[in-house]
Amino acid sequence: RVVARYRRDPANMVQILREIQEVCDWISPEAIDRLQTTLGVPRTKIEGVAGFYSFFYTAPRGKYRVLFSDNITDRMLGNRALMERLCNSLWVERGKVSEDGLVSVGKTACTGMCDQGPALLVNNLAIAGLTAERIDRIAELICDKVPLGDWPAEFFKVQDNIRRVDILLSADFQPGAALLAARARAPDEGLMASNMRSWREGLPSGIGGPVAVLDEIKRANLRGRGGAGFITGLKWEACRNAPLKTGQRRIVVCNADEGEPGTFKDRVLLAKYADLVVEGMTVAAYAVGATQGFVYLRGEYRYLLDHLNAVLARRRREKLLGENILGIPGADFDIEIHVGAGAYVCGEESALIESLEGKRGTPRNRPPFPVTNGYLDQPTIVNNVETFAAAAMIALKGGDWYAGIGTKHSAGTKILSVSGDCERPGLYEYPFGVSVRHVLADCGAKDPQAVQVSGPSGICVAEAEFDRIIGFEDIPTAGAFTVFDKRRDMFEVARNYVHFFQHESCGFCTPCRVGTSLLKNLMDKLHYGAGSPYDFSEIEKLNQLLQSMSHCGLGHTACNPVLDTIAKFRPAYEKRMNQQDFTPAFDLDRALAAARQMTGRDDAAAHLSSEHGGAT
């Protein structure tokens, strides 16, 4: 039934596997056998896809699969102690399945609940605001085998925590308003209708209608809100001008895979402003001549799926989506939601497209770019959730209005996801140009020493730089704004981020796969007190390797948190440089410790180093 619902299309492989797991708790060899037959896809390919995503299980992981969020803010809020408490209550070892096969407890990178952590996922549904009492109740529910649907509803309640609003978060948006405004930009109804009819074929250059909308987006100087800041109007224009082969169409993709630790703004936009986002996608479809759209929703936001599907269904009934939009024959555009399965790298647009096509989320070689050769080789635009929300407001109020907000080089507003050491974590929307100091005052940060802006791949802003501004001309950001007060050890912050990159490296290219592991080992070595001054040059060498040889941005930026914190918090590293001589990051003696313990052979002769009295 699942396969039939997805039209027996291998491009829906990720969704099919997800639904199979939701029903069967894991993806069994029998399920893969049946998929091989019904989809006509080689078994190795299905296994390759299932093995790529961290939320898919090809071995039983229990009826209840608990994953604790392990972002730095969860750590600061005591997630490790809570995880131990749950493991102890359930008699299960971390990372393992309980002996009765009922439950597994592990950790995942970040669940996008940094404003209300600590958090966990149980069977991919988020529970935030964890306390010891809540953990004890969860343990009871699991032991009593209570179905998730009967767990207390308040456990699954996610707060929006909107703290400061501006043009997007205050938008009292009437569904359809932006589309009507776009329609009004056509010089006459006849031209509008002909433009809408030719939506399917993609439009040549013309006057009014889609071209006018595109001009407004360009005039607004809207830049992508996913972090890279590419000019949205140019991206849309390139897609619109890309030739279509027979049977092809143009595609609009909303990238709602916000996996950067510390970011959660898209979660709130989709929960509370879904009409604004979907309308922005529809405006984009109109401007570029697309007929098919996708929302790629990160797996951690699975709880939003029913809500989003309800919004899409209502919009179809209201003729704001689907066939004959606004009642105009030929104006067709519809949206499907694809749910991710726990792969940070899928936030990269070409990896996301691979995942949408039912494959492993490996970033593609570029060029060609998605605007000409995207989803199933068709012209495709991929934009961030916030970009589409802004596009809807631009269609409604015009490019000049939007360009007048913010700074000369950064038009409009930016929504910041504020978390960490502050009294009021949550969403803050500001016109671009706001200073870091201003945001810190608004969120009630006491005694801050640093802010990590834009997540691990972003910038660590130290106290002396708090007058720097949020904007493409100074500090560009996808939205994360994580505050660290003076109690925090910035070395450990960087180490957490390095572990994140090592875990999330997709393994496709050797420099990143190996380089992130070496970097992690190096930071762990410093953590254990075995660092020496030589390690600074080792880190620099690794950075050069990752920068020059990695295939995608993850590898390019993996050393950023370390280099930034070395430059700004060097004493945190120097106090760990206890050795005079260089010691390799891989400590064979330490690695053998567990085996020695298991075999009961931990005498001096079994050790490798001469200082232990053994052979070197």
Please identify, using beta-carbon distances, which residue of 66 and 558 lies nearer to ligand SF4.
Answer: 558
Which range binds ligand SF4 by CB under 6 A, 93-101, 142-150, 308-316, 550-558? 550-558
Residue spans of alpha helices (H) in 106-188: 132-143, 177-184
Which C-beta is closer to ligand SF4: that of 233 or that of 515? Answer: 515
Task: Name the E strands within 473-602.
Answer: 480-485
Q: Which is nearer to ligand SF4, 139 or 545 (CB)?
A: 545
555 binds ligand SF4 (CB under 6 A): yes
What's the closest the beta carbon of residue 347 comes to ligand SF4, in angstroms? 10
Which of 509, 523, 526, 530 is the binder for ligand SF4 (CB under 6 A)? 509
Cα end-to-end span (Å), the chain: 62
Nearest distance from C-beta of residue 368 to ligand SF4, angstroms = 17
| DSSP notation for 239-261 | HHHSPPPTT--EEEEEEE---ST
Which stretch in 15-23, 150-158, 285-293, 503-511 sits in contact with ligand SF4 by CB under 6 A? 503-511
Question: Cβ 72 to ligand SF4, closest distance in Å?
Answer: 20
Cβ nearer to ligand SF4, comparing 55 with 430: 55
The single-letter code of the amino acid at 314 is: R
**Three-state secondary structure call for residue 189:** helix
Where b means 16+ CB within 10 Å and e means fewer, 105-130 reads bbbbbbbbbbbbbbbbbbbbebbbbb
CB atoms within 10 A of CB 504: 23
507 is an interface residue for ligand SF4 by CB under 6 A: yes
Query: Which CB atom, from 299 or from 399, has the smaller least distance to ligand SF4?
Result: 299
Do 315 and 351 contact (CB within 8 A), yes or no?
Answer: no
Name the minimum Å distance from CB 511 to ligand SF4: 7
Question: The tokens of 39 are what?
Answer: 């989809």
Site for ligand SF4 in 64-103 (CB under 6 A): none
The Cα 265–Cα 385 span in angstroms is: 9
The neighbouring-strand residues paired with 108 are 69
Please select the residue that binds ligand SF4; options are 119, 135, 311, 512, rule is CB under 6 A.
512
Residue for token digits 């402003």? 273
40 in helix, strand or coil?
coil
114, 353, 456 from 69: Cα distances, Å = 9, 26, 16
Whether omega for the bond prior to residue 367 falls within 30 degrees of 0, making it cis, is: yes
The single residue among 250, 551, 576, 607 that binds ligand SF4, judged by CB under 6 A, is 551
Distance between CA 527 and CA 517 in Å, rounded? 15
Q: Which of residues 342-361 bind ligand SF4 (CB under 6 A)?
A: 345
C-beta of 312 vs 552, nearer to ligand SF4? 552
Contacting ligand SF4 (CB under 6 A), which of 550, 557, 560, 565?
A: 550
Give 276-337 as a DSSP string: HHHHHHHHHHHHHTEEEEEEEE-GGGGGGHHHHHHHHHHHHHTTSSBSSGGG-TT--BEEEE
Alpha-carbon distance 183 to 162, whole Å?
32
Among 14, 256, 498, 506, binds ligand SF4 (CB under 6 A): 506
In sequence order, what DSSP letters do the residues of 203-228 get, joined into one string?
PPS-SSTHHHHHHHHHHHT-B-TTSS
Stretch that binds ligand SF4, among 36-44, 67-75, 410-418, 507-515 (CB under 6 A): 507-515
- CA–CA separation, 195 and 180 (whole Å): 14
What is the DSSP code (8-state) at residue 103? E
Identify the residue among 120, 552, 572, 585 touching ligand SF4 (CB under 6 A).
552
Q: Which is nearer to ligand SF4, 481 or 497 (CB)?
A: 497
Cα distances (angstroms) measured from residue 584 to each of 90, 132, 535: 39, 40, 9
Q: How far is the CB of 241 from ligand SF4 (least distance, A)?
A: 29
Stretch that binds ligand SF4, among 307-315, 449-457, 504-512, 536-544 (CB under 6 A): 504-512
Q: Which stretch binds ligand SF4 (CB under 6 A): 48-56, 352-360, 505-513, 593-601?
A: 505-513
Restricting to residues 350-409, name those near ligand SF4 by CB under 6 A.
363
Smallest separation (angstroms) from ligand SF4 to the CB of 501: 8
Element at 515 (helix H, strand E) = helix 510-527
Min dist. Cβ of residue 500 to ligand SF4 (A): 12
Residue spans of alpha helices (H) in 335-479: 349-356, 385-397, 399-403, 436-443
Nearest approach, Cβ of residue 514 and ligand SF4 (Å) = 9
Residue 511 neighbours by CB distance under 10 Å = 18
Closest to 425 (Cα-Cα) out of 411, 443, 448: 443
Only one of the segments 27-35, 326-334, 380-388, 499-507 lies at the binding site for ligand SF4 (rule: CB under 6 A); that segment is 499-507
- Cβ-based nearer residue to ligand SF4, 110 or 331: 110
Q: Is 141 in the site for ligand SF4 (CB under 6 A)?
A: no
Which residue number, 282 or 505, has a Cβ lying nearer to ligand SF4?
505
Q: Which two tokens stand for residue 73?
A: 């803010």
For the CB of residue 71, give the shortest distance to ligand SF4 in the complex, in Å. 19
Near ligand SF4 by CB under 6 A, which window of 459-467, 548-556, 569-577, 604-612? Answer: 548-556
Q: Considering the complex, state which of residue 88 and residue 548 has its C-beta at the smaller distance from ligand SF4.
A: 548
Site residue total, ligand SF4 (CB under 6 A): 14
Q: Which is nearer to ligand SF4, 352 or 509 (CB)?
A: 509
User: Are the CB atoms for 511 and 545 separated by under 8 Å?
Assistant: yes
Instruction: Give whichever of 52 and 286 is closer to ligand SF4, judged by the CB atom.
Output: 52
Interactions with ligand SF4, residue window 433-492 (CB under 6 A): none
Out of 77, 339, 422, 554, name the contact with ligand SF4 by CB under 6 A: 554
Q: Applying CB under 6 A, which of residues 80, 316, 513, 612 lies at the interface with ligand SF4?
A: 513
What is the radius of gyration, based on Cα positions, of the chain?
25
Q: Which residues bind ligand SF4 (CB under 6 A)?
A: 345, 363, 505-509, 512-513, 550-552, 554-555
